[in-house]
Amino acid sequence: MLDTKKHPNFSMHTWEFISIVAALMAMNAFAIDIMLPAMGVIAEHYKIVGNGQQWLIYSYILGFGVPQLFFGPITDKYGRRSLLKICIVAYVVFAFLCMLTSSFYLLCIARLFQGVFASGIRVIAISVVRDLTAGRTMARIMSLVMTIFMIVPIVAPVIGQGVMIVAGWKWTFGLLGLAGLVVFLWTHYRLPETLRNPSDTNIGFKSSVNVFFEVLKDRVTTGYMISSGFIYAALFAFIASAEQIFNDVFNSGNLFSLWFALIAGTLALANFINFRIVDIIGMRRISHITLILFIFLSFVNLMVSYFLSETLIVFLPLFALTFGCFGMLGANFSAIAMETQGDRAGTASALYGFFTTAVSSVFGYFVSSQFNGSVIPILIGFIFLGLFSLITVIITENGVLFGATTTK
């Protein structure tokens, strides 16, 4: 499955490789999901009113965005391994600094910088996958990565709630630091350099901009970057308001970790199904059908919630199915966008991460900030974000869905 012929120093088994990439990617999700049960407690501790506690999520996401534009060219020129270790160490440092802050403002600043270095980890992780795979193989690998990765949103809130009960909410950040140290040791001893042909491009401002524009000239890459941004906006909107939804709308905050785990479980299952069928059906057909299904399920949930009632027994299964759609969109959209980029994988991954984060943070914040004690605003947001993504895909594919231009 991995193309290691041109990487003589690479001796890692495929499953260990998938696991280590999943661990690197999971550091981002872990930094968000472990603290979700504590958001209400943190808001009370710092006397935050309204939806202000959502800045614990969005300060991290804001830090996650722009720096990817710098990490991409740097890793393409100097390699993956050394920069990856620097980013993990900095991630760990800022996780522990989150424990020591004395104000909500300083906590958000520490979260912002943790997001900065988490973005470097993400860029390099995807670049490593692209170094060793391409096309459908990359989609299959990323689906497996995301399947393992999705264990984190399932268990992280449970772990976070347990840590909060035993040691207090600040130790949720301490656990992030300890987890980062474990991943650092794993990558240090097991993951070799995977970049075969370092870029000979000067990484000054002008040359970096030129490389970015070369990537952006690829219609498919740019189109699927933007489409992914709209989809991830829906994901972030839910994550930022999830604790409020289950606590304020359904009066079930004490079981929040369970409900969140069930929803995240559908996402993990969808990623695994995508791994099994992507070679048969193709990346485009799967992702295009799933995108339409995402819009339809969101619309059904909206109609039921608006005209009948907002009950957990109806909302949860419909929303879990909707959430599962992310599992068949993320990996395929990413693989389609990255397929033609070759040795520019770091730069392309950086641009992909920047676009998706920039679009998702702006639109995701707008949707989640509309929370008013009802699920109606977020479901309306899901529908419009899905439509924006679908329109972008249609334009990108010149009006042809379910088919293939460069890949199926």
Instruction: Sort 193 into a burial class: Cβ within 10 Å, 0-12 / 13-18 / 19+.
Output: middle
Find where tokens 């988490």 sit: 118
Kindly report the CATH number that applies to the domain delimited by 14-396. Answer: 1.20.1250.20
Question: What is the pLDDT at residue 302?
Answer: 94
* b/e map 357-389, b = 16+ CB within 10 Å: bbbbbbbbbebbbbbeeebbbbbbbbbbbbebb
Query: How far, CA to CA in Å, does 235 sit from each of 14, 17, 23, 245, 365?
Result: 29, 26, 20, 14, 11
Q: Which of 18-22, 328-332, 356-360, 377-381 has the highest mean pLDDT?
A: 377-381
Segments of 163-295 assigned E as strands: none
Question: What is the pLDDT at residue 407?
Answer: 42
- Is residue 245 predicted with pLDDT exceeding 60? yes
Find where tokens 């048969």 sit: 280
Question: What is the pLDDT at residue 405?
Answer: 47
Residues 6+ apart with CB under 8 A from 223: 392, 393, 395, 396, 397
How far is C-alpha 92 from the chain's CA centre? 19
- Is residue 358 predicted with pLDDT exceeding 60? yes
Mean pLDDT confidence for 161-190: 93
Mean pLDDT confidence for 272-294: 88
Q: What is the pLDDT of residues 22-78, one digit of tens each?
A: 899 889 888 988 888 888 888 888 888 777 787 888 899 888 877 877 887 788 788
* b/e map 61-71, b = 16+ CB within 10 Å: bbbbbebbbbb
Are the C-beta atoms of residues 53 and 239 closer than 8 Å to each other? no
Question: What is the pLDDT at residue 293?
Answer: 95
Determine the angle formed by the axes of helices 104-132 and 326-338, rounding to 10 degrees. Answer: 60
- Is residue 92 predicted with pLDDT exceeding 90? yes
- Is residue 117 predicted with pLDDT exceeding 80? yes
- Split at pLDDT 50, 70, 90, the class of 383 is very high
- Is residue 382 predicted with pLDDT exceeding 80? yes
d(CA 350, CA 330): 16
* Least confident among 176-185, 249-258, 296-305: 249-258
Is the alpha carbon torsion for 297, 298, 299, 305 positive or negative? positive
Mean pLDDT confidence for 78-93: 94
**DSSP state, residue 343:** G
Question: What is the pLDDT at residue 199?
Answer: 59
Average pLDDT, the chain: 84
In the chain, what are the helix, strand and coil shares in percent, each to the nearest 5? 80, 0, 20
Q: Which has more pLDDT, 336 or 178? A: 178
Question: What is the pLDDT at residue 309?
Answer: 81
How far is C-alpha 178 from the chain's CA centre? 21
